[in-house]
C-alpha cells in the first residue's frame, strides 16, 4: 500500500506474498445478503441467467512486456484447487441459482490438470462459463480435453492473440510458443468443438518509420480477416497499443526513444487525456498519427458491423442481418472510411462492445 501521511510523507508498506489460495480462511459468503441484495448483481448475459463473477487464481506465470499484470505479480501464479472452486460454485448455485460464471482470473487455464478436474466436477450442473487464457497453453490440451470443457459448460475463452506477426510477438515478450500459425491452428480446432475464441489484438505497435507502423496495421487487419475466415464464430477485440512501464524490456526502450513518457505525478493521471488510457482506446502515443488511429477505429466499426458480437444478445435476427448487409461491401473491399451508417445503427441499437462495457446484461 502507498499513501501520504499527515506529515506529507509518502509511505510504502511491505508487499504481501502471493499466498497459497487454499490455505486462506473460507470467505464468509453467508453474510453477503446482510449487506447487499446479491440477486441485484446477478444479471442475464449471453452466458445465461444470474451470471456470477469469480476469481479462482491470482497472477500469471508469464511476463509479456505489454501487460499490466506483470509489474504486479512478476510472473507468479497461485490458484485455488478445482475442488475448492467447485465447492464455491455449488454454494452459489444452490443459494442464488446462478446459471453462468465469468472467471476473471488473469489466466484461468494455466494448469490443464486443474481445468480438467474442474470440468469433470461441474459437467452435470448446467452452468455455462467463460474465462481468460493463453492460446499456446490451451492449444496443448487434447481434443478430448476441449470437448470435455465444452460439455462442462465452457462457452467462450478470452485469449490474447495480440498479433499474428512472429517478430512482434517476440518483441512483446509473449513467451511460450505462440506464433501466427498457432493462432490459426487453435481457432480452427475450436470451430467444430463449439467453444468460441474471443481474441484480443493489439494494433499500432511502434516501429522505426511511420510507413512501417502503417504497414503493420494493414498486416494485422488482414490477419484478423483471415482468422474470421477460418473460424467465423471467433470474436475479435481490438486494442490500440498502450505502453506499460516494464522497464528494461526492449519494447519499453523503443517507446521511450519514440518520445513517449508516463505522467510524473499521481495528479497528472487525472488529466482528461489520460482518463481512457487503461481502456487502450486513447493511446497518446507519438508514433501513431490520427490517420492510423482512424484506419484502426474504422476497421473496428466495419468488423463490428459485419460480425456483431455474440455477447450482445439483443443484436440478432433482423437487426443482425441488416447490420451485416450494410457492412458487407466495406468489409470485403477494405473501404472502411467514414462508416457513419454502421455507427448510426450501433448507436440506435445501443451496440455494446464487451472490452469497454462488459457483456450486455439485463
Q: How many CA atoms lie within 13 A of 29 on its CB side?
A: 13
Cell (9 digits) for 252 = 519499453
3-state SS, residue 48: strand
Of 235 and 312, the one with the shorter C-beta distance to ligand SF4 is: 235
Tell me the closest approach of the beta carbon of residue 66 to ligand SF4, in angstroms: 7
Helix (H) or strand (E) run with residue 79 in it: strand 77-79
Tell me the closest approach of the beta carbon of residue 172 to ligand SF4, in angstroms: 8
In 115-195, DSSP assigns E strands to 128-133, 154-162
Tell me the closest approach of the beta carbon of residue 160 to ligand SF4, in angstroms: 5
Of 69 and 199, the one with the shorter C-beta distance to ligand SF4 is: 69
Of 160 and 283, the one with the shorter C-beta distance to ligand SF4 is: 160
Tell me the closest approach of the beta carbon of residue 107 to ligand SF4, in angstroms: 5
Q: Which residues sit at the interface with ligand SF4, rule CB under 6 A?
A: 60, 62-64, 67, 69-70, 106-107, 134, 160
Neighbours of 117 (CB within 10 A): 16
Of 252 and 313, the one with the shorter C-beta distance to ligand SF4 is: 252
Of 70 and 310, the one with the shorter C-beta distance to ligand SF4 is: 70
CB 18 within 8 A of CB 75: no
CB 67 within 8 A of CB 173: no
CB 21 within 8 A of CB 58: yes
Of 67 and 236, the one with the shorter C-beta distance to ligand SF4 is: 67
Tell me the closest approach of the beta carbon of residue 240 to ligand SF4, in angstroms: 16
Tell me the closest approach of the beta carbon of residue 242 to ligand SF4, in angstroms: 13
Tell me the closest approach of the beta carbon of residue 116 to ligand SF4, in angstroms: 20
Sign for the CA dihedral angle at 182, 187, 188, 193 comes to positive
Residues 133 and 109: their CA atoms lie apart, in Å, by 5
Question: In DSSP terms, which residues pair with 196 in a beta bridge?
Answer: 156
Grid look-up 517476440 returns 170
Residue of 155, 172, 154, 150 whose CA lies nearest to 163: 172
Of 137 and 216, the one with the shorter C-beta distance to ligand SF4 is: 137
CB 105 within 8 A of CB 73: no
Amino acid at each position: 500500500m502507498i499513501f501520504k501521511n499527515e506529515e506529507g510523507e509518502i509511505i510504502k508498506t511491505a508487499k504481501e506474498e502471493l499466498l497459497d489460495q487454499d490455505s486462506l480462511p473460507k470467505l464468509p459468503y453467508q453474510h453477503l445478503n446482510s449487506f447487499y441484495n446479491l440477486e441485484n448483481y446477478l444479471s442475464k448475459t449471453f452466458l445465461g441467467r444470474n451470471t456470477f463473477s469469480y476469481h479462482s487464481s491470482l497472477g500469471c506465470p508469464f511476463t509479456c512486456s505489454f501487460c499490466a499484470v506483470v509489474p504486479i505479480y512478476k510472473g507468479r501464479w497461485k490458484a485455488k484447487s478445482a475442488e475448492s472452486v467447485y465447492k464455491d460454485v455449488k454454494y452459489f448455485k444452490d443459494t442464488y441459482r446462478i446459471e453462468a460464471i465469468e472467471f476473471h482470473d488473469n489466466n484461468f487455464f494455466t494448469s490443464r490438470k486443474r481445468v480438467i478436474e474442474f470440468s469433470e466436477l461441474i459437467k452435470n450442473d448446467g452452468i455455462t462459463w467463460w474465462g481468460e487464457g493463453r492460446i499456446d497453453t490451451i492449444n496443448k490440451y487434447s481434443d478430448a480435453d476441449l470437448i470435455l470443457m465444452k460439455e462442462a459448460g465452457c462457452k467462450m475463452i478470452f485469449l490474447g492473440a495480440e498479433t499474428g506477426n512472429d517478430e512482434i510477438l517476440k518483441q512483446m515478450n509473449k513467451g511460450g510458443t505462440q506464433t501466427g500459425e498457432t493462432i490459426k491452428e487453435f481457432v480452427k480446432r475450436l470451430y467444430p468443438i463449439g467453444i468460441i475464441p474471443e481474441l484480443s489484438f493489439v494494433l499500432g505497435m511502434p516501429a522505426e518509420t511511420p510507413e512501417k507502423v502503417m504497414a503493420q496495421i494493414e498486416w494485422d487487419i488482414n490477419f484478423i480477416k483471415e482468422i474470421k475466415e477460418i473460424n467465423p464464430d471467433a470474436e475479435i477485440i481490438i486494442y490500440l497499443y498502450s505502453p506499460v512501464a516494464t522497464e528494461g524490456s526492449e519494447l519499453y526502450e523503443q517507446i521511450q526513444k519514440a518520445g513517449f513518457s508516463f505522467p510524473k505525478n499521481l495528479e497528472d493521471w487525472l488529466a482528461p487525456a489520460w482518463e481512457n488510457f487503461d481502456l487502450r482506446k486513447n493511446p497518446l502515443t507519438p508514433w501513431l498519427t490520427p490517420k492510423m488511429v482512424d484506419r484502426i477505429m474504422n476497421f473496428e466499426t466495419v468488423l463490428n458491423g459485419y460480425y456483431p458480437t455474440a455477447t450482445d444478445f439483443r443484436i440478432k435476427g433482423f437487426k443482425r442481418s441488416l447490420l451485416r448487409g450494410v457492412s458487407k461491401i466495406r468489409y470485403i473491399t477494405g473501404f472502411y472510411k467514414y462508416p457513419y451508417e454502421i455507427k448510426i445503427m450501433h448507436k440506435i441499437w445501443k451496440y455494446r462492445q464487451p472490452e469497454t462495457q462488459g457483456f450486455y446484461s439485463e
